[in-house]
Structure 1
């Protein structure tokens, strides 16, 4: 609703400016938004593809490592000399025992150099108390490890390899680092199947980190987790050996062999990709922050925003210039139309260009010129019509009236005093002078009443005492202006059609007052009333009396009032047969004719 009101009330220049901006700014903004969205989606898809490929290569390296370690464990597992050593009771510090250890140590070292790319440490823990470690001469005591969960699990697997991260602090001295991963399997007697001891091949966390270190530049963080959700290698070393199996993103990463999803980690939006290692049950999880992923896009967004602001500013300037060039001539033409609307027909617009607006300006000037000519013609015709109406009204004091008046004067010469006769002649002269010679259309209410008094004086002389007329005029309205000869025709109708047919003396009342900025006149007689009208007995017979042919005098008066002052003014006629007639006139109140313009 407010938008519709704005569109309706806004100027043409504003509408054009808004239209230009919508045609330029909105498409540019939509294009920029769509382009950035497509770019983000493309980068995200490419990153997921690249990450999964990288994680796949890391997984392959870890699978190869697990396969090689399994191969090494198989050599130990099937070595007959080792089986014999583990089956005999261990005797410390004997020549034979030392010879066996030397032999096995050489074998361990030879195996180690056979797989030069691997960095691992071997520990053999016999149930007979025999121990042998790659680079450690001390003892761990296998009995101290029997309480560990992984120890029990290794014996339950009955020779299969299990992968354990940081199996025991007691084994930390057999390797060179604090955190490591161990491939553990039980060594058995092939003939009886009885367990003889444990084989542990340990890999340090630093070696695991080397398998994916080169790929770390593409990620914020990469973690290697075992099958239980424990972190066995990561860039953030403080997270090592922490268990995250209860986290949402870990559980989501366990769905399928590989994939990606979005999540919020430590308050940052992350693109998470994962890949599972087949031979070990481990999982590789990599986090790529979106702010790093879309760093170039964000810079492009900033650049686009700057360009958008510049284009918007230039668009506003250009649009304003174009809209101004188009709307200014229309505004000038509009102002010229307003002046013509206010009545200034001399106005001519100076919008005379060679385009459609210029042609519109020329046609406007021709139209106003034509209207001015027609206006002058109408004014002249109205003036002629006004004079004709005035002459017609003045002719109402016709020869019959003059004949009767002169006959009455002749009769009065024989019956009345010279002063009485003279007064009637003076009244007749004044009436004829003001009505027949004065061509002014407007006179004061006081002058109109004086004319009416002269007319009534003559008529009372003719009626010889049969007529009485009362005047009740408010002195506060005598200075107001009104049309000439409005009251005299009404009083004349009252005398000739109401009083003369009546037996006995008749009385006419003439009242005048102000009511709500209007002049009100009431002429009432107690004559015979208006007869032979089909009014259904209604007292208001205005419409009937103004429409019939014999009501010429009243119809002329009403027509003049409406013509000069409008439809809200005029007269009303009320009459009942045998009870008299009342005519009410409503006129505007004005002192100077200039005040009529505001009416």
Structure 2
């Protein structure tokens, strides 16, 4: 991934300014349009979802009330039927009507017709009205076509109802045992069953059945389905009424969405499940233990959002094309003068210092051209100064190399090593050689002048350890330099002259007890290194003397040389200063913070 990003950045910066600006404007326009469309899309989607949620919660609540009114009407009709003389006579004399006598059958027919005309004639939502005696025998309109199989199933439901302690019940969805002659199929119906008692004696004489087709119940929630949603009335886990015929009798226990819907926590009595394609609402219809399920396709409320997103994208594309056209005109007014300046710079870079920039533009580009011409006029003078500085820098480097390679320090350490060998202290001799090797390895450092403070501290530690071997028990040292400071840059061999002065001149009259502290910190974008000792210190008359060699004479090279090298590489505002204190000496080094 890093390699790909690096390659893309390389190719991007290789393009012309015009192409880079166009690429950036195009990407920003596309990104901003995408963010705007996306954010508005999400906001509108949530708002429309909340609106859909409220609308369908109201629809389901209204449907619940309509179901309650609908079944209250059926309950009232059932009461009217069971107290009617026709019903009382029919069920009280049920054994008589089982005979095949024509007069008896005609009497039964007239009783049935009176009941049907007084009830179904006024309420077309009923499929038929039937009566059952205590033995389960059925009495229905003889003009209807009867299905013996469906009738046996219904008689079994009635017997179960007679054996129960309920006075009323709503039978599950089933095929009606009767149909009219002009109809081809038996309707899917829900039966309202009500026990009938003798008005005079108060004893149970049978059951009255009001058969309601699914189409009559569907009329209650048809307006809700006009917006594309689907309504199911569920008993247990099975659908007993639905707008789509194929959903009737279906067991929803195997449906994943139904299981998830029943796991949702109710909100104001409503369970809500949102899937990728649909939103499901469910509410308990407590009267019969049913559930009202409302399935709403997501696209019904997402159409407006998608239409808005499409229109907004089209507008965004048109704005992008317009922006690019205007941007090219604006960019050309900037890049053409810049191209002149660039070509002039190339010619001057080849050595033709007689070239000048001629542009008519004002503002920043005109100022740039004028200042560039002025800069070219001063180039020769600056070149002379640069050459002079480079010569000084080179002389300083040569001088430093020559002083670094002086054999005096090397000879002294070799003599010390020889003495250790004579004293048969081979371990110390070997350790000293190792330290000397590490010291010169750091000093040489492949000829690099600028190194990290961490490497400079390694050189200083090697030097101090060698000095501790040469001057046992004379001094100790402490280094307090955090990791961020160690990563900064410094001139090579900046600390060694200061440490050498402290040991040879600060501690020259001290047999023991010397202490050198090296501390570093970052302060105001600067690196501050302080080297302090508890030696004899420097005279106050030397503190203000710019020639610090009066206070410190070193065998290799002095503080003035080190200070000049710092200024040469990092600037005149950095360098070495001597801080006076009551005892010992403290040297302060200021460097720029640059890793």
TM-score (norm 2): 0.54
Give SS of 1:349's match.
Answer: coil
Instruction: Decide whether aligned partners of structure 1 residues 322 and 367 sit closer, same or farther in structure 2, where only a CA change above 3 A counts.
Output: same
Shift of residue 64, structure 1, vs aligned partner: 1.1
Give the alignment of 1:331-350 within 5 angstroms.
331-350=339-358
> What does residue 106 of structure 1 align with?
114
Give SS of 2:354's match.
Answer: coil
Instruction: Decide whether aligned partners of structure 1 residues 251 and 171 sit closer, same or farther in structure 2, where only a CA change above 3 A counts.
Output: farther
1:222 corresponds, among 230, 238, 246, to 230
Q: Indicate conservation of the 8 Å contact 2:130/2:140, yes or no.
A: yes
**Could you tell me how far apart the structure 1 residues matched to 2:204 and 2:116 are?**
21
Give the alignment of 1:59-70 within 5 angstroms.
59-70=64-75
> What does residue 162 of structure 2 align with?
155
1:38 corresponds, among 28, 40, 43, to 43
1:203 corresponds, among 207, 212, 228, to 212
Instruction: Decide whether aligned partners of structure 1 residues 54 and 135 sit closer, same or farther in structure 2, where only a CA change above 3 A counts.
Output: farther
> What does residue 131 of structure 2 align with?
124
Give SS of 2:231's match.
Answer: strand
Give the alignment of 1:560-575 within 5 angstroms.
none
2:371 corresponds, among 347, 353, 363, to 363
Q: Indicate conservation of the 8 Å contact 2:232/2:242, yes or no.
A: yes
Shift of residue 328, structure 1, vs aligned partner: 2.9
1:127-173 deviation line (CA, Å, top 9, x unaligned): 35764325746878899737976345423432332222344564557
**Coordinate RMSD, CA, aligned:** 3.9
Instruction: Decide whether aligned partners of structure 1 residues 373 and 158 sit closer, same or farther in structure 2, where only a CA change above 3 A counts.
Output: closer
Shift of residue 27, structure 1, vs aligned partner: 2.8
> What does residue 34 of structure 2 align with?
29
Shift of residue 374, structure 1, vs aligned partner: 7.7
Instruction: Decide whether aligned partners of structure 1 residues 75 and 350 sit closer, same or farther in structure 2, where only a CA change above 3 A counts.
Output: same
Give SS of 1:212's match.
Answer: helix
**Could you tell me how far apart the structure 1 residues matched to 2:256 and 2:272 are?**
13
**Could you tell me how far apart the structure 2 residues matched to 1:227 and 1:90 are?**
39
Shift of residue 357, structure 1, vs aligned partner: 1.5
**Could you tell me how far apart the structure 2 residues matched to 1:19 and 1:242 are?**
58
**Could you tell me how far apart the structure 1 residues matched to 2:381 and 2:206 are?**
128
**Could you tell me how far apart the structure 1 residues matched to 2:290 and 2:244 are?**
18
Between 125-134 and 38-47, the greater mean CA deviation after superposition: 125-134
> What does residue 302 of structure 2 align with?
294
1:183 corresponds, among 188, 192, 209, to 192
Shift of residue 182, structure 1, vs aligned partner: 0.7
Q: Indicate conservation of the 8 Å contact 2:232/2:243, yes or no.
A: no
Instruction: Decide whether aligned partners of structure 1 residues 377 and 208 sit closer, same or farther in structure 2, where only a CA change above 3 A counts.
Output: closer
Instruction: Decide whether aligned partners of structure 1 residues 151 and 82 sit closer, same or farther in structure 2, where only a CA change above 3 A counts.
Output: closer
1:58 corresponds, among 58, 63, 79, to 63
Shift of residue 80, structure 1, vs aligned partner: 7.3
Give SS of 2:359's match.
Answer: coil
**Could you tell me how far apart the structure 2 residues matched to 1:166 and 1:20 are?**
66
Give the alignment of 1:132-143 within 5 angstroms.
132-134=139-141, 136=143
**Could you tell me how far apart the structure 2 residues matched to 1:139 and 1:25 are?**
71
Shift of residue 302, structure 1, vs aligned partner: 1.7
> What does residue 597 of structure 1 align with?
none
Q: Indicate conservation of the 8 Å contact 1:233/1:240, yes or no.
A: yes
Shift of residue 233, structure 1, vs aligned partner: 3.5
> What does residue 260 of structure 1 align with?
272
> What does residue 90 of structure 1 align with?
96
**Could you tell me how far apart the structure 2 residues matched to 1:295 and 1:61 are?**
30
**Could you tell me how far apart the structure 1 residues matched to 2:382 and 2:235 are?**
104
- Higher Rg of the two aligned structures: 1
> What does residue 567 of structure 2 align with?
none
**Could you tell me how far apart the structure 2 residues matched to 1:236 and 1:119 are?**
20
Q: Indicate conservation of the 8 Å contact 1:150/1:167, yes or no.
A: no
Q: Unaligned 5+ residue runs, structure 2?
A: 388-595
Instruction: Decide whether aligned partners of structure 1 residues 141 and 60 sit closer, same or farther in structure 2, where only a CA change above 3 A counts.
Output: same
TM-score (norm 1): 0.54
Q: Indicate conservation of the 8 Å contact 1:186/1:198, yes or no.
A: yes
Instruction: Decide whether aligned partners of structure 1 residues 370 and 197 sit closer, same or farther in structure 2, where only a CA change above 3 A counts.
Output: same
Instruction: Decide whether aligned partners of structure 1 residues 187 and 353 sit closer, same or farther in structure 2, where only a CA change above 3 A counts.
Output: same
Give SS of 1:218's match.
Answer: coil
Q: Does 1:238 align with 2:246?
A: yes
Q: Indicate conservation of the 8 Å contact 1:59/1:277, yes or no.
A: yes
- Count the aligned residue pairs: 373
1:414-444 deviation line (CA, Å, top 9, x unaligned): xxxxxxxxxxxxxxxxxxxxxxxxxxxxxxx
Q: Indicate conservation of the 8 Å contact 2:129/2:209, yes or no.
A: yes
Q: Indicate conservation of the 8 Å contact 1:13/1:327, yes or no.
A: yes
Shift of residue 104, structure 1, vs aligned partner: 5.2
1:58-87 deviation line (CA, Å, top 9, x unaligned): 222222111111222234445577456534
Q: Indicate conservation of the 8 Å contact 2:22/2:324, yes or no.
A: yes
Q: Does 1:49 align with 2:54?
A: yes
Q: Indicate conservation of the 8 Å contact 2:66/2:220, yes or no.
A: yes
